[in-house]
Copies of this chain bind each other. A is one copy, B any other.
Amino acid sequence: MEVRRTTVRDMRRSNRSVILTGIYREGPLSRQELTVRTSLSAASVSNLVAELIAEGVVEEAGSVESEGGRPRVLLRVAPTFRYVVGAEVGETRVRVELFDLAMNVLARADHPIATPTPEEVVKHVLEGLSTVIAASGTQSEQVLGLGVAVAGVVEDNAIVDAQTLGWEAVPLAALLAEGTDIPVHVDNGANMLGQAEMWFGAGRGATDAVVALVGSGVGSALVAGGSSYRGARSSAGEWGHMTIMYGGRQCRCGALGCLEAYVGAEGVLDRYRLAGGTVDSDEETAFVELLESESELATTIVNDTIGYLAAGFANLVNLVNPERIVLGGWAGLLLGEKHLEELRTEVGKHALRRPYAQVSIVLCELGRDAVALGAATLPVVRLLRDGGAVPPPR
């Protein structure tokens, strides 16, 4: 009995949420359009909008002529109503960015980091937070929340396992909360990048999609029915460790034949090397060189990679039946820019006809710096869910 919708007050909150979400997600809208889309009465829309305007969440933004009558007044979420901060915790740096509600970057703070211990990271995130708040000239009370993206498994705002950082069971949100009054949200980096693409990039408009990220490793973010799917215990989306070659290459996760071992940049270059290719010491340089090389060996390796990746995509298509697959990650983008058409064709060879015909395969639009942007949407999601109700100051 999970669903509990009760009092008449909840209804109002819910309606506020629907209206606010509509205004935020579907661009400036007039009250009139809102009544149509929400199937609320004009009276209620007016009423709720008036409330939202009075609270400063929504503002009027010019008008648009209608068909002969009174012009519609467009509404938008006031970009400067509150601000949100997103942080990306990487292996080598911490990046913190402050956005207004229209998701314009107002300030940024990067900090290189040598050994990413939890203490170091907490310190630099908090420093970055102060820095961006100061640099943007906003007040701390005006910051709605801080979203933090980490490359690891996150359950209930606490990090459970982050191998690349060497962390285990680190209550990151709690640690950060000790140093700030701003509400903290922590989530997985791949999910956050996916979230950014879904809201502002190639995923716009889709409700059932997968954002597939191919870098040195391979991951993905699943979106089902319009919201991120986390599975039973928030670790869904581990697409990289799907077996596509039973008994095949050893993956760093220990298993054999994982997709990552074949299409992750590391795996690709390793295959190239084993086949006799020479590989630059820098992974990205090497990968670019491989893609640009016209040698027969390089071509074979690249083609094989496309084939393996296509099988991985086909598995997604068959199992999840998404309407869109968004390919990203630095290696994924490099690969996709040159070979997207072949990739699509290859997916068709592995996937069932019907779901294949229903999926579109596209590239990420936001580049790889969108992680902090995605993280910054976490507080926004909450704002929208709560219908613009701002948590009381502590």
Copy number in this complex?
2
Contact A321 B39 (CB under 8 A): no
Contact with B along A241-253 (1 / 0, CB 8 A): 1111110100001
Q: Which of A8, A256, A262, A311 has the largest number of chain B CB atoms within 10 A?
A: A311
Contact with B along A9-21 (1 / 0, CB 8 A): 0110011001001
Chain A interface residue count, CB cutoff 8 Å, equals 73
Contact B350 A255 (CB under 8 A): yes
Contact A160 B352 (CB under 8 A): no
Q: Is A229 an interface residue, CB under 8 A from the partner? A: yes
List 20 other contacts, CB 8 Å, given A1-B37, A5-B11, A233-B355. Answer: A1-B26, A1-B38, A2-B226, A3-B21, A4-B39, A6-B15, A6-B38, A8-B8, A11-B11, A231-B322, A235-B354, A236-B321, A239-B318, A239-B319, A241-B352, A243-B244, A243-B315, A243-B350, A246-B311, A316-B319
| A322 to B15 alpha-carbon distance, docked (Å) | 32
Determine the chain B residues whose CB is within 8 A of the CB of A244 once the complex forms.
243-246
Contact with B along A202-218 (1 / 0, CB 8 A): 00000110000000000
Contact B236 A352 (CB under 8 A): no
Which 9 pairs across A and B sit closest by C-beta, in order of nearness?
Answer: A231-B321, A232-B323, A236-B321, A208-B232, A238-B318, A243-B311, A242-B315, A235-B321, A245-B246
Determine the chain B residues whose CB is within 8 A of the CB of A319 once the complex forms.
222, 236-239, 242, 316, 319-320
Task: Say whether, besides A238-B319, A320-B236, A358-B233, A349 and B5 are in contact (CB < 8 Å).
Answer: no
Contact B18 A160 (CB under 8 A): no
Determine the chain B residues whose CB is within 8 A of the CB of A321 once the complex forms.
230-238
Determine the chain B residues whose CB is within 8 A of the CB of A272 once the complex forms.
none
Contact A231 B320 (CB under 8 A): yes
Q: Is A308 an interface residue, CB under 8 A from the partner? A: yes
Contact A241 B318 (CB under 8 A): yes
Q: Is A22 an interface residue, CB under 8 A from the partner? A: yes
| CB contact between A208 and one of B231, B257, B308 (< 8 Å): that residue | B231
Determine the chain B residues whose CB is within 8 A of the CB of A320 once the complex forms.
222, 229, 231, 236, 319
Q: Is A194 an interface residue, CB under 8 A from the partner? A: no
Contact A18 B1 (CB under 8 A): yes
| A13 to B143 alpha-carbon distance, docked (Å) | 38
Which B-chain residue is minimally distant from A226 (CB atoms)?
B2
Contact A22 B8 (CB under 8 A): no
Q: Is A161 an interface residue, CB under 8 A from the partner? A: yes
| A11 to B316 alpha-carbon distance, docked (Å) | 37
Q: Can you name 6 A-B pairs with beta carbons within 8 Å?
A: A6-B40, A232-B322, A233-B355, A235-B354, A237-B321, A243-B314
Contact A255 B39 (CB under 8 A): no
| CB contact between A349 and one of B22, B255, B314, B318 (< 8 Å): that residue | B255
Q: Is A328 an interface residue, CB under 8 A from the partner? A: no
Determine the chain B residues whose CB is within 8 A of the CB of A10 once the complex forms.
11
Q: Is A106 an interface residue, CB under 8 A from the partner? A: no
A318 shortest CB reach to chain B, Å: 4
| A215 to B57 alpha-carbon distance, docked (Å) | 56
Contact A1 B14 (CB under 8 A): no
Contact A2 B352 (CB under 8 A): no
Determine the chain B residues whose CB is within 8 A of the CB of A354 once the complex forms.
153, 160-161, 233, 235
Q: Is A72 an interface residue, CB under 8 A from the partner? A: no
Which residues of A (292-308) have their CB < 8 Å from a CB of B? 307-308
Q: Is A25 an interface residue, CB under 8 A from the partner? A: yes
